[in-house]
Copies of this chain bind each other. A is one copy, B any other.
Amino acid sequence: MSSWLPVKPLPGLSKREYKDRVGAVRMRLLRLQHDLLQTDTPVLVVFGGVDGGGKHETVNLLNAWLDPRYLSTLAYGEASQEEAERPRMWRFWRDLPVRGRIGLVLSGWYSQPLVEYARHRSDDARFNHQLKQIAQFERMLSDDGALILKFWMHLTARQQHQRLRNLAEDPLTLWQVRPRDWEHLHLYERFVEASQHLLEKTHGKHAQWRVIDGSQEKLRELCVAESLADALEKRLANSVRAATPRFRPSQAKRLAQLDLEQQLDKEEYKTRLAHAQARLLRLQKTAFHCGRSTLLVFEGWDAAGKGGAIRRLIQPLDARQYKLIPIAAPTDEELARHYLWRFWRHLPRAGNLCVFDRSWYGRVLVERIEGFASKTEWVRGYDEINAFEEELTESGIRLLKFWIHISNEEQLARFESRKLDPLK
Cross-chain contact of A104 among B27, B30, B310, B319 (Cβ < 8 A): B319
CB distance from A138 to the nearest CB of B (A): 22
Smallest Cβ-Cβ distance to A349: which chain B residue = B80
Oligomeric state, in copies? 2
Q: Cα distance A251–B71 when bound, in Å?
A: 40
Smallest Cβ-Cβ distance to A27: which chain B residue = B423
A124 sits at the interface (CB 8 A): no
A106 sits at the interface (CB 8 A): yes
Smallest Cβ-Cβ distance to A69: which chain B residue = B326
Taking CB atoms and an 8 Å cut-off, the chain A residues in 2-42 that contact chain B are 27, 30-31, 34
Smallest Cβ-Cβ distance to A322: which chain B residue = B73
Smallest Cβ-Cβ distance to A278: which chain B residue = B172
Residues of chain B with a CB closer than 8 A to A34's CB: 423
- Chain A residues touching B, majority SS: helix
Q: Cα distance A107–B319 when bound, in Å?
A: 12
CB distance from A214 to the nearest CB of B (A): 17
The reply to whether B285 and A175 form a contact with Cβ atoms under 8 Å apart is yes
Q: Cα distance A104–B75 when bound, in Å?
A: 35
Stretch of A58-66, A377-385, A394-402 with 4 or more beta carbons under 8 angstroms from chain B: A58-66
A64-B315, A333-B332 are known contacts. Are A72 and B27 too (CB-CB below 8 A)? Answer: no
Smallest Cβ-Cβ distance to A288: which chain B residue = B175
A63-B314, A80-B82, A423-B27 are known contacts. Are A73 and B331 too (CB-CB below 8 A)? Answer: no
Taking CB atoms and an 8 Å cut-off, the chain A residues in 352-377 that contact chain B are 357
Q: Cα distance A56–B75 when bound, in Å?
A: 40
The reply to whether B278 and A60 form a contact with Cβ atoms under 8 Å apart is no
Residues of A within 8 A of B (CB): 27, 30-31, 34, 56, 59-60, 63-64, 67-73, 75, 77, 80-82, 104, 106-107, 172, 175, 278, 281-282, 285, 307, 310-311, 314-321, 323-324, 326, 331-333, 357, 422-423
19 contacts between A and B (CB under 8 A): A27-B423, A30-B423, A34-B423, A60-B317, A67-B307, A68-B314, A69-B326, A69-B357, A72-B324, A73-B319, A80-B81, A80-B82, A81-B81, A82-B82, A104-B319, A106-B320, A172-B281, A175-B318, A331-B332
